[in-house]
Chain A
Amino acid sequence: MTKYLAADIGDTAKLLADDPIWLILIKVVGIFAFLVVMTLFMINWERKVVARMQHRPGPNRVGPNGWLQSLADGLKLAFKEDIRPVLADKWVFFLAPVISCIPAFLAFSVIPLAGEVNLFGQQTALQLVDLPVGVLVVLACSSLGVYGIVLSGWASGSPYPLLGALRSAAQVISYEIAMGLSIVAVIMFTGSLSTGDIVNAQASTVLGVLPGWFGILLFPSFVIYVVSMVGETNRAPFDLPEAESELVGGFHTEYSSLKFALFFLAEYVNMVTVSALATTLFLGGYKAPWSGEFMNTGWWGLLWFIGKTLFFLFLFIWLRGTLPRLRYDQFMKLGWKVLVPTSLVWIMAVAVIRTGAIQQLSTAQRLIALGVVVGLVLLVSFLLPDKKVQDTKGVPLAGSGFPVPPLDLVVPKAAPKRKVKVANIPKDDQVLAAAPTAKEAE
């Protein structure tokens, strides 16, 4: 029984327990600054990478190589006129950007940025808190962040934002389920919800070569998490709540000035947070790909962490530069009919494997279990109805490369030539007389 459960309290939590209050404050400010700087960097990086993918230079005027462009844009946004539509709901309109921003920052408090370091003479871990329910904090914050989007759309008092908000509500609820299910397998392997414990559980190596990351051990979970994290953050190709070709700007159509900037900030901070969580859960967090001391202790952790997070952030940009936006029904189908069932089956498989590993079954027992599973799969595959056989008489006219005429082609009769519908073609001189000449027009 006890093997299911982690130690009573993780090492990281012990390390963090004696942090003085000033150190906690420094960490809070540090995380805030990190996220804001990452946002400024990320906007610029995204514009530059997308520009490169589209063979154009991208921002290159403000600051060295254009790297201060987003800072200038942010300042400009803050000084713009703040407009509130007449039909807007005054308080909710004001509250929505704040609600979307705060949870985005709050979620980062449980992310471990590095292991044990010496910070101003204190031995501590580079992490604000290590809760026994750490992963749930991120989920709770993302579920609160949606309120910002939904309320902004409703409070704007305008149809396009409302449509964006409706889409967003449905989208985030669906993809949060897939996201939560993809995390379950990780929790089953670790036996703990604490982020610090999850990182420590990935410290070993598999087969002596591969790092023991859950991204490798639990690859299906990893894929599902990555897909649902893009859906959760409303990013292309899943940016339906703000699809600019359909909904103008989606939920933030009516927002301007600092309120709009807050939405922008929240979106990018959310991206950093889900990337950081992906790093923590699936890519070994702040640990190096190998076990041992070399480049794997103290402040090296921060470097690994940022590197892995940037990998995911690049993935976001790459997706945006590559994929067109999904249609809404296709997107919902992907979430409910592909991601959720797949993760449920995968969790069952992981549970069976874990039980087998813990109870130390004999080889014969494992083979019998495997046989039963294969038999069940075969049975189900026989029970499934065949795909409807298509009409073989008709020659496929489309989708086969060339449009082939059917064998029983009857050339349709040409429509009877119609005479030009002109009753009396006026004589040339009459028309000339009727039409004003250039001289008359003057």
Chain B
Amino acid sequence: MSLLVSLLAQQPEPVQRAVDTVTTGEVIAFWVLGPLALAGALGMLFARNAVHSALWLVLTMLSLGVLYMVQQAPFLGFVQIIVYTGAIMMLFLFVLMMVGRDSSDSVVEVIRGQRLAAALLGIGFAVLMVGSVARALTSVEPKGLAEANATNGGNVGNIGVKLFTDYLFPFELTSALLIVAALGAMILAFVGRDGKPSKKTQKELVEERFQEGKRVGSIPGPGVFATANSVATPALLPDGSVSEESLFEVIEATDKSALSEDVADVAGTGHQPDPHALKGSES
């Protein structure tokens, strides 16, 4: 992280630097961040735990983001960190945590021909990657961003201009694609309320409760207004009768003789302590 700070500190330099040269700092940064990114990618593949796998991927993305910053594209670097590590990987983690830490990978082929399709697509992707990397290594002339960053409002301004003039159509197309995907996800995940009345508000619930004329307060617990707070002791109404609502089914089903003492206590016919009781056994 201290590396990042020192790299950030170097950023204003490109203005003074007219020629695009690879500085020593950039080389060091590359040889530190490159292996880190690679390690992250390998770790992601070989980690057994899904969350560990996601964390390795975060490492790769962070390294790439810092590499972009070093290569005079600070906006791209920070957007990479905010969007990929901050939002997308966080959503991944969110889902993984919801699934639970012990869920193992399913080896059952859910979609027919899934493995074959995956293998074909994987090979195709590898061919594309190798092709583009080979082209980048041989025929592409490396060109730094120092010149572009020094004109026309700097890095951010240039990206904005390009995005909203030359590349407006692909940009809008991409956003349309994302919106369609988001809407599709919403439709798939939406549980409709067809026919069901909408959820009642708190106010409606309160009014309903009063209008039905039923009990408004809570049901009395056992032992309210009673001589003991045992569940076996039913609540008493103010006139001394037992409140039916406080009776507990299980206890009602038990043999009455087992409860005779409590019954006597409730009925007020049990042992009544007199003032002498306070003095204990000496009474």
A interface vs B, CB < 8 Å?
Answer: 1-2, 4-6, 8-9, 13-14, 16-17, 19, 24, 28, 89, 92, 102, 106, 109, 128-133, 136-137, 139-140, 143-144, 146-147, 150-151, 153-154, 157, 162, 165-166, 169-170, 172-173, 176, 191-193, 394, 396-399, 403, 406, 410, 412, 415, 417-423, 425-426, 428, 431-432, 434-435, 438-439, 442
Q: How far is the CA of A412 from the CA of B82 in the complex (A)?
A: 64
Query: What number of residue pairs across chains A and B have CB atoms under 8 A from each other?
Result: 188
Q: B96 to nearest A CB, angstroms?
A: 8
Given A128-B5, A143-B87, A150-B90, do A14 and B150 touch, yes or no (CB 8 Å)? Answer: no
What total of chain B residues lie within 8 Å of the partner, measured CB to CB? 68
**Which 3 residue pairs spanning A and B have beta carbons closest together?**
A143-B86, A5-B153, A397-B210
Q: Are B78 and A150 in contact (CB under 8 A)?
A: no
Q: How far is the CA of A6 from the CA of B155 in the complex (A)?
A: 11
Residues of A contacting B155 with CB < 8 Å? 132-133
Which B16-72 residues sit within 8 Å CB-CB of chain A? Answer: 16, 49, 51-52, 55, 58
Partner of A128, one of B9, B94, B263: B9
Q: Are A397 and B207 in contact (CB under 8 A)?
A: yes
Given A5-B152, A129-B8, do A438 and B264 touch, yes or no (CB 8 Å)? Answer: no
Q: Are A422 and B12 in contact (CB under 8 A)?
A: no
Q: How far is the CA of A169 from the CA of B51 in the complex (A)?
A: 14
Known: A154-B101, A193-B156, A426-B260. 6 other contacts (CB 8 A): A17-B12, A131-B11, A132-B155, A143-B86, A143-B87, A193-B75
Is B224 engaged at the interface, CB distance under 8 Å to the other chain? no
Q: A414 to nearest B CB, angstroms?
A: 11
Partner of A420, one of B12, B206, B210, B240: B240
Closest A residue by C-beta to B252: A421
Residues of B contacting A132 with CB < 8 Å? 11, 74-75, 154-156
- Main SS class of interface, B: helix
Q: Are A428 and B269 in contact (CB under 8 A)?
A: yes
Residues of B contacting A412 with CB < 8 Å? 213
B interface vs A, CB < 8 Å?
Answer: 1, 4-6, 8-9, 11-13, 15-16, 49, 51-52, 55, 58, 74-75, 78-79, 81-82, 85-87, 90-91, 93-94, 97-98, 101, 150-157, 160-161, 203, 206-207, 210-211, 213, 234, 240-242, 244, 247, 256, 260-261, 263-264, 266-267, 269-271, 277, 280-281, 283
Q: How far is the CA of A423 from the CA of B257 in the complex (A)?
A: 10
Q: Are B242 and A14 in contact (CB under 8 A)?
A: no
Given A128-B9, A140-B86, A143-B82, do A106 and B55 touch, yes or no (CB 8 Å)? Answer: no
